[in-house]
Structure 1
Amino acid sequence: MENQKQKVYDALDKLNIKYEVVEHEPVYTMEDMDRLGLPEKGTLCKNLFLRDSKGKRHFLVTCEESKKVDLKALGRQLGGGNLSFASEERLEKYLGLKQGSVSPFGLMNDTDHQVEFFIDKDLSRCKSLGIHPLENTATVFLSYKDLDKFLWDLDVDVIKIKL
């Protein structure tokens, strides 16, 4: 299997995006991330892969790791009705990711643009964002502006919301 992390690094390099990589043990939760002491490098991002009640619409929502997200209120805000976490099968199908590796970088695998991407406006004020590079054994730190540039290159509609 192709090195997923390298796929991200190559895409960032192609766009001349500056980033820093921190390799670490596999992490599956934000609590695991906090134990690594990474917040000093930048703002760690929490990424939620969600679906509507009918399973017709899929959403990737990125916010600051400590934000509490009310799925009922978020569903109303996104026009998706009742939201729930999508299954690992859907995560693999739409973003090519495994549980614990959810990331905006996964949108590079969504070539049919079936996943709607939403990012919390508050992240735009952060100096550096920490995001997994398709695997949960590393964290990439880059600027909000550079993440936006990466997603723009993928032709992803980045919808900014207030959480």
Structure 2
Amino acid sequence: MADQDIVHEGGCRCGQVRIRVTGAPLMTMACHCTGCQRMTSSAFSLSALYPSDRFEVGQGEPVIGGLHGPTRHFFCPHCMSWLFTRPEGLDEFVNVRATMMDDTKSFSPFIESYTSEALPWAKTPALHSFETDPSDERFMELVTEFARQSAHPRL
């Protein structure tokens, strides 16, 4: 099966909202910022970045939560599970919470951001770490590296 044919489905904890992504993600990430810590009630958030045209809400109607700002965080209106984010000014992308997918094993973080805010014991297997966010130029290099590595995974 080619990467573009891969379908991952997932949903909120109560099952009222279901989501689907097609193909391989552009990048997988862990974010250690205090905002993600608070919204996940955990040490970091795990996400997978997809082009918007490869993402769909298959059931239910998510609501905006979090800070209600230009970056929109979407939640199940019933159980309040954080499902995905539409980053500010980047409507062509959606950042899916990888832990909301039915099969989470293939979403190991490739990069981690905001390590400057990380809890001292919170460790990930990410290959690249950044004290805040990587620059736009560096991010595009990482997307290319992630695609190359995904095509030839380590044994």
User: Structure 1 length as normaliser, TM-score?
Assistant: 0.26
Q: Which has the higher contact order (CA 8 A, sep 6+)?
A: 1
Structure with the largest fraction of helix: 1
TM-score between the two structures when normalised by the length of structure 2: 0.27
